[in-house]
């Protein structure tokens, strides 16, 4: 995948194009994820090299139609693929549409049929609806976004670039309910990978604003801490 990030106006154009089409294809309960979900909460949308969507009912027929409808935005006909992988032994289907936008930027639309192998309905307590860019979008709460971005998997983990983005996002929010961040982490058993990611960042002398509240929550749940409170 290209590391060139397209200006926000490009991926917003693509998102506006595919959102009504997904509904027409009966691909419902779509959730906007990734840096695009972050952009829903900020005044200025972030540049991005892809669009991340959780789309439980995605099918080959839907991919074919979306590809055809996106062709006018590209300088050559987009391609697509459909893959069924695993996440910690759980089935994890993912499909992509690859296009080279008329602007020259390569771009990918990613459709995840579940969240890390979990049924997307498990995300419901952490979702909300927001109106943005003339669209009515289902997105994770800011706290859920923070948790998911803290849980990036090896080998890349959290890059310095993404750490900087996350810190700006947290600063923009002003207030973060870290109890909700911790609730999301525990709901999807992400505490171990997040602890490893924070340790890796710390070794580079990089920290995430407020992350001490995650570390403290982990310590409070340890058997030693529980024994001390008894």
Asked if residue 220 has pLDDT above 70, the reply is no
Confidence of residue 222 (pLDDT cuts 50, 70, 90): very low
CA 121 to chain centre: 16
Q: Over the chain, what is the mean pLDDT?
A: 90
Confidence of residue 22 (pLDDT cuts 50, 70, 90): very high
pLDDT of residue 225: 38
Which one, of 30, 91, 24, lies nearest residue 55 by Cα? 30
Sign of CA dihedral 62, 65, 70, 74: positive
Give 46-63 pLDDT, tens digit per residue.
999 999 999 998 999 999
Q: Are 101 and 2 in contact (CB under 8 A)?
A: no
Confidence of residue 221 (pLDDT cuts 50, 70, 90): low
Asked if residue 224 has pLDDT above 50, the reply is no
Q: Are 75 and 100 in contact (CB under 8 A)?
A: yes
- Beta pairing, strands 50-54 & 106-112: parallel
pLDDT of residue 230: 41
Q: Model pTM? A: 0.89
**For 203, phi and psi rounded to 5 degrees?**
-65, -20
Which one, of 58, 229, 227, 30, lies nearest residue 140 by Cα? 30
Domains in the chain with CATH codes = 1-140 (3.10.450), 141-222 (no CATH)
pLDDT of residue 229: 36
């Amino acid at each position: 995948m290209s590391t060139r990030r397209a200006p926000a106006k490009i991926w917003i154009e693509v998102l506006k194009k595919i959102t009504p089409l997904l509904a027409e294809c009966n691909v419902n309960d779509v959730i906007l994820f990734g840096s695009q979900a972050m952009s829903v909460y900020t005044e200025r949308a972030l540049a991005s090299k892809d669009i991340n969507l959780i789309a439980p009912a995605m099918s080959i027929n839907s991919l074919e139609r979306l590809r055809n409808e996106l062709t006018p935005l590209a300088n050559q006909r987009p391609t697509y693929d459909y893959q069924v992988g695993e996440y910690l032994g759980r089935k994890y289907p993912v499909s992509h549409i690859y296009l080279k936008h008329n602007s020259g930027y390569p771009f990918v639309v990613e459709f995840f049929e579940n969240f890390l192998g979990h049924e997307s309905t498990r995300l419901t307590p952490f979702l909300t609806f927001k109106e943005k860019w003339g669209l009515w979008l289902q997105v994770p709460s800011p706290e859920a976004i923070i948790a998911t971005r803290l849980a990036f998997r090896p080998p890349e983990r959290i890059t310095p670039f993404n750490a900087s983005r996350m810190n700006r996002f947290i600063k923009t929010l002003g207030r973060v309910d870290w109890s909700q961040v911790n609730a999301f982490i525990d709901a999807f058993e992400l505490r171990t990978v997040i602890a490893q990611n924070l340790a890796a960042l710390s070794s580079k002398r990089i920290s995430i604003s407020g992350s001490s509240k995650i570390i403290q929550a982990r310590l409070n749940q340890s058997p030693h801490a529980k024994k001390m409170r008894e």
